[in-house]
Chain A
Amino acid sequence: MRRLAAALALVALTVPADAAENLVSGISQDTVEINSSYTGTDIVVYGAIENPEPTGVDDVVVIVRGPDANMTVRQKQWVAGIWINRDQAKLLAMPSYYYIASTRPLDKIAASFTLERYEIGLDAIVPGQIVSHHYAEPFRQALIRHKKIEGLYGESPYGVVFQFPTLFRARIPVPAGVPRGQYNVVVYLFRDGNVISAQSTPLFVDQTGLERRLHNFALSSPLSYGLSTVFMALVLGWISSLVFRRAD
């Protein structure tokens, strides 16, 4: 009996009933290139709802999530007259970038347990692992606050706009400080508070041109990189002494 139910569920998931509501989406560019004049850009996530049903409420949530990073949050304490870092919490596997746009504020779209299950919303971001002797929630809150100030975490409760009854778009800022790597753009379609469809598209963020080469150079052959920096300093200093001696 249970096996039958599972099989039926599988059929329901894999065979698209042509009357069911469905989601198609895309992004304006599949790579973001950080070059020497990069000061941040916007990507546009767009999409359409197929076979919309006449009754019920549709909501769309767009999440752009950067590659995971390990983050250490430290808290300063007043020790012997000065403020120094004392307590800390390591939050492992946190998104290095997280932006969420939705048609309405999240608490109006779905119940909190639904949001938590899909890790939708800044409150629902949880680290893969916490290493700390302390209650970690204040550290997590501080991290989210910091990342928001840096522009790496963000939310836009009315950021998904329906231009036509079934066509939507959202503008996602990608600021200058974003880390490189593979990002994931996930679009969720909610109907009456339940996720009925989701679509995921990869987005690549990478340094290009000279910046990429310098960055790779610094990491792959640090000794030559250091020597080159010193050489550049010596040559520039020497040239300037020649140039300005002639001017005197």
Chain B
Amino acid sequence: MEIYLPIAEMSVHWLIILGMGGAIGFLSGMFGVGGGFLLTPMLIFYGVPPEVAVATTSSHITASSISGAIAQWRKRALDLKMGAVMAAGGLAGTATGVWLFTVMRRYGQMDLLVSASYVLLLGTVGGLMLKESIETLRATQSGAPARRHTPHLWMHGLPLKMRFRESRLYISVIPPVVIGFCVGTLSAIMGIGGGFVIVPAMIYMLRMPTNVVMGTSLFQIIIVTAATTILQATANFSVDIVLAMFLILGGVIGAQFGVRIGARLRGEQLRLLLALLVLAVGLRLFLGLVLKPDDLYSVTTVMR
């Protein structure tokens, strides 16, 4: 049965959308990531207008993060104060990102903004993850403990220090606010939750204990993606609630299977697979930018 999407203004087969949501949910359950970085390009390849794809994916991530956040909350494995500080930066970042989105759309450079952000982010993150997981795999094989890269913590000298009891940290609020801001901006532009940026940032830059990282990042992702959804709906009218519903339904079902498969694989293998997946999506978008398009012209229609 075909369904008509009232905002995307196209008719799609509901099983395809449910299946897409399911596949993304499966991967996100398996790898423990939100999956926005895969869902947005997938929707765009399918023909959903990029602005609708980006904005609608945000609400999908809100839904797929909530069950994880509830589970972590029950275990008290989250730092609410840190989450709130990062979310404050995140909200400012979201507003900036949506504004940037609106401006670029006006100048016809929105596709470029989305694609270029994806290529840069996925290329960097995928590359780092690939490097790290190969090193870990090698180290495990040779029996030596894996070497961890920790950057020099110049940020510990910054003012405005605050105590974060659950994270057992006494640090300046500037780094978490800035990280939150950057991820919030990316979230609005790319329709991602940013988990795969925020988790490493929390571990390596803020030095948060790993047991609270998952819950805190999910908490901050829910707030930021919820805000993104609302801002995109008000500024760009680009959230499609019907599309969101079918994606979420597929997503929550797929995630349950993904979690079960993911539990059987080893961490290093999972990270290697995820790194390859991230790089493949990044490469596909990169080719879209550098290869000569079949049609040089594009048309935007605005009803009077």
Contacts and interface: CB of A to CB of B under 8 A. Distances in A.
Given A225-B239, A226-B234, A230-B226, A211 B299 contact: no
A71 B237 contact: no
| Band of interface residues on A | 35 or more
Top 7 A-B pairs, shortest CB-CB distance: A226-B233, A241-B67, A237-B66, A142-B297, A240-B252, A226-B230, A237-B63
Given A176-B4, A234-B63, A83 B230 contact: no
B292 interface: yes
B262 to A, nearest CB: 15
A183 B232 CA distance: 31
B62 interface: yes
B220 interface: no
18 contacts: A36-B4, A69-B301, A69-B302, A75-B297, A76-B298, A85-B111, A176-B10, A214-B7, A225-B233, A226-B239, A227-B230, A229-B239, A232-B248, A236-B252, A237-B62, A237-B67, A241-B66, A241-B67
A181 B9 CA distance: 14
A236 B299 contact: no
Interface in A44-71: 67-71
Interface of A: 34-40, 67-78, 81-85, 88, 93, 96, 138-139, 142-143, 145-147, 176-177, 179, 181, 207, 211-212, 214-215, 218-219, 222-223, 225-230, 232-234, 236-238, 240-241, 244, 247
B109 A84 contact: yes
Interface string B221-262: 000001001111110010101101100110011011000000
Contacts of A222: 233-234, 237
A94 B7 CA distance: 22
A71 B301 contact: yes
B244 A82 contact: no
Instruction: Determine which residue in B237, B249, B303 has the highest number of CB atoms from chain A within 10 A of its CB, and name it.
Output: B303
A233 B63 contact: yes
Interface of B is mostly: helix
Given A96-B301, A177-B9, A241 B108 contact: no
Contacts of B292: 78, 83
Nearest to A240: B252
Given A36-B3, A37-B1, A230-B230, A69 B304 contact: yes
A207 B293 CA distance: 34
Contact of A232 (B232, B245, B293): B245
B112 A85 contact: yes
A177 B9 CA distance: 6
Contact of B4 (A35, A81, A219): A35
Given A67-B303, A82-B289, A96-B303, A39 B67 contact: no
A49 B112 CA distance: 54
Contact of B108 (A70, A88, A147, A229): A88
Given A36-B3, A142-B295, 5 more contacts: A34-B4, A177-B10, A226-B233, A226-B239, A229-B230
